[in-house]
Amino acid sequence: MVRWQPDASLRLSEAALSLYAERGFDATTVAEIAERAGLTKRTFFRYFADKREVLFGGAGELRELFVTATAAAPASATPIEAALAAALGPAAEMFSERQDFARQRQAIIAANPELQERELIKLSSMAEAIAAALRGRGVPEQAATLAAQTAMTIFQVAFERWVDQPDPHALPRLISEALAELQALTAPAPAPLTG
């Protein structure tokens, strides 16, 4: 087997996704992933702590994108707009280059309750980090938590729609549409006409 090659991480990710799709996440072993990639188990563990990390390895980078963009949002931005700044900019750009991976990843997670739980934990952790960034902007504690949780829900709804879209650059539009849907749901009902 090949000991090391510059594209080892990508090869391992592609092998893992392929095996997860073929056999299911639970039935796939690290040894099988490494073998499919033409690498050793030892090489696998240089890149990933376990086979779940193939699916969740970029969570820290994504969280940092959201926190940085939230903190850097214009002063005029509402808390939800600030919380979604990354999703509309740098995160959307990153995802547009990885739509096939995102689509495969989403299908694997949807088929496994343990992975669904891990995804929810990841989103909750992101919301907590965003809420802290909002508090750093002077947003009161409860408002920061509500805005961050709401932003993550909007992002999740838009992301689930995006993986089924043919256009890899549609995520910002879908986020804007989900935000508009939420605003329509929370808008006061028009007063009844009296005659």
pLDDT-derived band at 30 (thresholds 50, 70, 90) equals very high
Tokens describing residue 4: 């090391």
User: 190: Cβ–Cβ under 8 A, 6 or more apart, which residues?
Assistant: none
Task: Measure the CA–CA gap between 163 and 168, rounded to whole angstroms.
Answer: 8
Give the three-class secondary structure for 162. helix
User: What's the whole-model pTM score?
Assistant: 0.85
* Superfamily, domain 8-53: Homeodomain-like (1.10.10.60)
Amino acid (one-letter) located at 28: T
Summary count for the chain: helices (H), strands (E): 12, 0
Question: Which residues of the chain form CATH 1.10.357.10?
Answer: 58-186
**Does the domain formed by 58-186 have CATH 3.30.450.40?**
no
Q: What are all long-range contacts of 31-34, with beta carbons under 8 Å and residues at least 24 apart?
A: 34/1
Put residue 81 in one of left, alpha, beta given phi > 0 → left and psi -120 to 50 → alpha. Answer: alpha
Instruction: Find where tokens 């940085």 sit.
Output: 68
pLDDT-derived band at 6 (thresholds 50, 70, 90) equals low
pLDDT-derived band at 58 (thresholds 50, 70, 90) equals confident
Question: Which residues of the chain form CATH 1.10.10.60?
Answer: 8-53
Task: Measure the CA–CA gap between 121 and 55, rounded to whole angstroms.
Answer: 13
